[in-house]
Structure 1
Amino acid sequence: MNRAAFYAALRRSTSGVFGKSLSKAQVHGIDAILDEAERRGTPLTHLAAILAEAHHETGGQFQPVSENLNYSAKRLTEVWPNRFPTIAAAAPYANNPQRLANKVYGGRLGNVDPGDGWLFRGRGLAQITGRENYARFGIAGVPDDAGKMPVAIRILFDGMTRGIFTGRKLKDYDAADGYRYAASRAIINGDVKANGARIEKHGRAFEAALRAAGYDATKPTAPATTGFWAALGRFLLALLKGGKK
């Protein structure tokens, strides 16, 4: 695909995905997603949905982020009204991210040990939370890896393609009249009513930019053959050539 054309189309988009410019970090993150999509042979609309989710989950940064748990007492009563029905109840956890994480995530999502809420707080390009979810991606023993780009990319693609996040998959939202971006928010989170329209808007913008760039994923890119197998291949080829009369 023509990546210059892709970024130019995004900058021209009236959807307001980025405005007129992108930072180096944003381009680096998007390029990493495009590289993985081309390697896997990800269908165009599925890639647009992945990009829309990564945009939403990272606040447009396109870099792995950690969940912001630094709330005022008033904000805590709005975000978790059942847990913090009053300012007084919220006050001990205000502006104390670690204590708050252990309060709201402790004893659920597979968290069993003291401190698990903080240790397994939301991280990544798609925010995974809780020991159970970290274990699904094989990183319960190294939770900080969720914040590393190669791991975050794998989690994003595997989670959305295979339905690891919620059981919903990218292919579930294919439709004859166009991809159902808003509904596909359920792949990562059930907050479709609150955020589906935003995913729809950004998904359409990314889809248009990918089409303008000539994105084509008819087949995955085969990894380069190196090392022992490459040497063996050259050896066998030489034998075959030597045996011809």
Structure 2
Amino acid sequence: MAANPINRKYFFDRIRHALFGGKLTAAQVEGVTKILDYRDATWPKMSDDELAYLLATVKHETAHKMQPIKEMGGERYLRAKKYYPWYGRGLIQITWKENYEKYGIKRADDALKWPNALHVAFHGMIFGEFTGKKLADYIRPGRVDYVGARRIINGTDRAKLVAGYARAFQDALKQSREPQ
């Protein structure tokens, strides 16, 4: 983490225009704020490059809401899933009962609660709990591979799209730490 604190007003202005079409809802601001606060309080050594990728992944996984959500689709669609009723929930769409239990989540909808959703997102991406791939496999000093980092969550599905989000978050984080 850089020594200079994030100028949050500047950061939100940057992401509002670069990533959210010029508008941020109160819920999006709340979600991003909770992610920034959680990083500062729980993972202070997480680099801005890693944080940018986590934010990008959350943007993609939550359909840009930046809030814990349930997997998209009607009841019929969800019931057809092999892992029903343990379908995707949270900031990162965890699935399968075993994955919920790994995080101590006994009721599937508890993955939608903030402390749980934040813990799953950060812990899972940092330690490679989703696919065996972790942030440090792709992002470390001297190496930032946002396209490859998609393997942390979901193979290469939408890898370039999520990488573009990450670069925009990375730029906003860098710019928000510079003297204004």
Could you tell me the TM-score, scaled by structure 1's length? Answer: 0.66
Partner SS for 1:62: coil
Structure 1 residue 12 displacement after superposition: 4.0
Q: Aligned to 2:153, which of 179, 188, 211?
A: 188
Q: Aligned to 1:63, which of 63, 67, 70?
A: 67
Separation in structure 2 between the aligned mates of residue 38 and residue 175 of structure 1, nearest angstrom = 18
Partner SS for 1:34: helix
User: Is the CA contact (8 Å cut-off) linking 2:81 and 2:87 kept in structure 1?
Assistant: no
Partner SS for 2:101: helix
In structure 2, the partner of 1:162 is 127
Question: In the alignment, does 2:9 pair up with 1:4?
Answer: yes
Alignment of 1:205-224 (within 5 A): 205-214=168-177
Partner SS for 1:167: coil
Question: In the alignment, does 2:134 pair up with 1:132?
Answer: no
Q: Which amino acid aligns with 2:72?
A: N
Q: Aligned to 1:21, which of 19, 23, 30?
A: 23
> Segments of 4+ in structure 1 off by > 2 A?
99-104, 174-178
User: Is the CA contact (8 Å cut-off) linking 2:61 and 2:92 kept in structure 1?
Assistant: yes
In structure 2, the partner of 1:74 is none
Q: Return 167-176 or 19-28, whichever deviates more.
A: 167-176
Separation in structure 2 between the aligned mates of residue 203 and residue 125 of structure 1, nearest angstrom = 16
In structure 2, the partner of 1:101 is 78
Unaligned runs of 5+ in 2: 1-5
Unaligned runs of 5+ in 1: 71-96, 107-116, 216-245
Structure 1 residue 176 displacement after superposition: 6.0
Question: In the alignment, does 2:49 pair up with 1:45?
Answer: yes
Instruction: Tell me which structure has the larger Cα radius of gyration.
Output: 1
Q: Aligned to 2:112, which of 147, 151, 174?
A: 147
**Residue deviations 1:166-205 (CA, integer Å, cap 9, x gap):** 1110000026664111111110111x1x300111100000
Partner SS for 1:126: coil
- The 1:209–1:138 alpha-carbon spacing in structure 2 relative to 1, beyond 3 Å, is same
Partner SS for 2:177: coil
Structure 1 residue 144 displacement after superposition: 1.4
Number of positions where the alignment pairs a residue of Structure 1 with one of Structure 2: 171
Alignment of 1:73-88 (within 5 A): none
In structure 2, the partner of 1:223 is none
Separation in structure 2 between the aligned mates of residue 66 and residue 5 of structure 1, nearest angstrom = 31
Could you tell me the TM-score, scaled by structure 2's length? Answer: 0.89
Question: In the alignment, does 2:136 pair up with 1:171?
Answer: yes
